[in-house]
Structure 1
Amino acid sequence: MTRTSETFDRVLNTGAAWALALIWVLPLAYAVWTAFHPAAYEARFELFAPLTLENFSKAWDAAPFARYFLNTFILVTMILAGQFFLCTLAAFAFARFEFPGRNILFALVLLQLLVMPDILMVENYKTMRLLNLVDTIPAIALPYIASGFGIFLLRQTFMTIPKELDEAARIEGASFLGVLWKVYIPLAKPTYLAYGLVSVSHHWNNFLWPLIVTNSVETRPVTVGLSIFSAIDSGIEWSVINAATLMTSGPLLIAFLLFQRQFVQSFMRAGIK
């Protein structure tokens, strides 16, 4: 490849990256602009336009966002705790135990990654109705408690841990669960952090299944609450709607900015490209 060709490829790739960045940033910039400025500045830009937090106050007062945030926090915590527990035990078994049919069972776990969750919504709803759990937070959480991706990610991490550490812990009298708790889990903390960010982000933003299975304010997460707020309050300014949108997405953005280095490093250590 000639030097001219390499330069052209670099310029082309850089231009494409900038174009994609602008496509992503411009709507966010507009949302931030309108959220922090009076409604009169929704469609015009002025360098010294007055800043205000009134839009956030209006949005907070116009809908029960406190309840929506509480429901969402309970939901993502419930799902993440269940996933950590089940995925840890399953990943440890697949990584360290030899038993008949292990590879077949692991293939079935990976098969879950190929199944779109939307395909199972009708059957999941029938199951929740039979369990009398419709319009409850557990009904939103139960279909996601087990995660094929979480099992795969932790298994990859556990397999990189030397077996000599198992033997040393066993000599000291530790049980299998003791080895898992004292050796594997501490060494896999970066992976837990990365998976936790993925899980919380996904279920914080999940919309369709919570919309189907919930009917009341007492159980709706913040995404469903935001959509209903935007739909029924048609008289509210775009600046207020954008302020509500920033309120719902802000915690995730802050969490990612704080832990982005650990997030990337954990996937690299797990051998995932």
Structure 2
Amino acid sequence: MTQKLDTIGAWLLGILWFLPLAYTLWAAFHPAAYSTHFDLTAPLTLENFAAAWNAAPFARYFLNTFILVTMVLAAQLILSTLAAYAFARFEFRGRDFVFMLVLLQLMIMPDVLIVENYRLMSWLGVRDTIFAVGLPYFASAFGIFLLRQTFKTVPRELEEAARVEGANRWQILMKVYVPLARPIYVAYGLVSVSYHWNNFLWPLIITNSVESRPLTVGLQVFASTDQGIDWSIITAATLLSAAPLLVAFLLFQRQFVQSFMRAGIR
């Protein structure tokens, strides 16, 4: 009985998730006259995508977003790996207290720090840059916690064997710990890329020009016209923005699921 209820609940949640996507697909591939009502005889069209692409500098927005997510992910992986290894294997005074401070960051919503982050970016003189959009997220408490828990499961015998072979700490980290945590890196990378690809509020506040705006902020141009809202063009622009993530998931869904399963097991 419990299993049946779980299945029904999963189907209901799946339907609720799919309905907005179904409407987005319908409105994007049909003329504006059919964007608010369903008609099987409605003609298909790609003009909405062409109109959306020409209405905003999407090429620049895509480039900015790609640079942003790549920069943030690279910084997070490097800093999280080094910090997690230190917390997992080094003995130093105040280690547990410092790690507790890291965990406290998980309880703080990023939006709470917007004012202070804005002041810091102004003081550094980097407002309205892609670097300013990503800088507050370079250090990830979640990444440190996830990798620290993973590194602690690695048998110390492997590290001792590598040390006997003449490996230093850097080589031990890169050739023993990092390869064993590869599924965790993949799972965390997916979370990080998805979050920063879709992040809106902070990029909206810190950027003012096309040269530094990511896709999510660029989409607001379609909702600020004097001619009213054209849902066909808005949904087409939304699909253009989400297409890279959707394609990546469809191509690598097996690896995605396996990575999250292994991350959960650890």
TM-score where L is the length of structure 2:
0.93
Instruction: Give yes or no for the alignment of 1:110 onto 2:103.
Output: yes
With over 3 angstroms needed to count, the CA separation of the structure-2 counterparts of 1:101 and 1:264, relative to structure 1, is farther
Equivalent residue for 1:181? Answer: 174
**Which of 96, 112, 120 is the matching residue for 2:113?**
120
Instruction: Give yes or no for the alignment of 1:243 onto 2:236.
Output: yes
Q: Which runs of structure 1 show a deviation greater than 6 angstroms over 4 or more consecutive aligned residues?
A: none
Where do 1:212-231 residues align within 5 Å?
A: 212-231=205-224
Cα displacement (A) at 1:235: 4.5
**Which of 74, 82, 90 is the matching residue for 2:75?**
82
Where do 1:5-84 residues align within 5 Å?
A: 6=1, 9-84=2-77
Aligned residues: 266
Amino acid at match of 2:25: V
Cα displacement (A) at 1:175: 0.8
Instruction: Give yes or no for the alignment of 1:141 onto 2:146.
Output: no
Distance (Å, rounded) in 2 between the aligned partners of 1:270 and 1:102:
24
Distance (Å, rounded) in 2 between the aligned partners of 1:151 and 1:262:
22
**Which of 118, 122, 125 is the matching residue for 1:132?**
125
Indicate the larger mover: 251-260 or 138-147.
251-260
Unaligned regions of 5+ residues in structure 1, if any? 1-5
Distance (Å, rounded) in 1 between the aligned partners of 2:221 and 2:109:
25
SS of 1:217 mapped into structure 2: coil
With over 3 angstroms needed to count, the CA separation of the structure-2 counterparts of 1:18 and 1:93, relative to structure 1, is same
**Which of 148, 151, 155 is the matching residue for 1:158?**
151
Distance (Å, rounded) in 2 between the aligned partners of 1:260 and 1:44:
33
Amino acid at match of 2:169: F
Asked if the contact 2:187/2:263 (under 8 Å) is kept, the reply is no
Distance (Å, rounded) in 2 between the aligned partners of 1:113 and 1:142:
17
Distance (Å, rounded) in 2 between the aligned partners of 1:187 and 1:139:
33
**Which of 159, 173, 187 is the matching residue for 1:194?**
187
Cα displacement (A) at 1:125: 0.4
Distance (Å, rounded) in 2 between the aligned partners of 1:172 and 1:246:
52
Asked if the contact 1:194/1:267 (under 8 Å) is kept, the reply is yes
TM-score where L is the length of structure 1:
0.91
Cα displacement (A) at 1:128: 0.4
SS of 2:93 mapped into structure 1: coil
SS of 2:45 mapped into structure 1: coil
Unaligned regions of 5+ residues in structure 2, if any? none
SS of 2:48 mapped into structure 1: helix
Cα displacement (A) at 1:228: 2.6
Asked if the contact 2:200/2:217 (under 8 Å) is kept, the reply is yes
Amino acid at match of 1:26: L
Cα displacement (A) at 1:250: 1.9
Amino acid at match of 2:93: P
Distance (Å, rounded) in 1 between the aligned partners of 2:113 and 2:176:
37
SS of 1:66 mapped into structure 2: helix
Asked if the contact 2:183/2:263 (under 8 Å) is kept, the reply is no
> What is the identity percentage for the equivalent residue pairs of Structure 1 and Structure 2?
68
Deviations along 1:124-145, whole A, 9 cap, x unmatched?
1000000001111111111000
